[in-house]
Amino acid sequence: MRRFQPPVMIRTALVAAVLVLATATAGPAVAAETVVGAARPWHYWIAPFLLGGGVLLLAVFGVGYYVRVMGGRGRR
């Protein structure tokens, strides 16, 4: 059986509504002085770990893409 997919207009409207709600509710949090305050001491040691995790995640995606999509097309 085929999965039901809503029409494009409904999906577009839902995405727009989610984006509007996300920006409307994030405004007070961004404007709060305590959230955007000065850097804490733990920011300095955790930043390299977060950056390394992001780079590792991109590498895993790249290797996974290569194995799944390009893996069967080896040199002939």
**Residue range 6-38, pLDDT digits in tens:** 676 777 778 788 777 777 776 665 555 555 566
16 or 75: which carries more pLDDT confidence? 16
Give the span between the Cα atoms of 38 and 44, in whole angstroms: 12
Looking at residue 53, what is its pLDDT?
A: 94
Looking at residue 73, what is its pLDDT?
A: 65
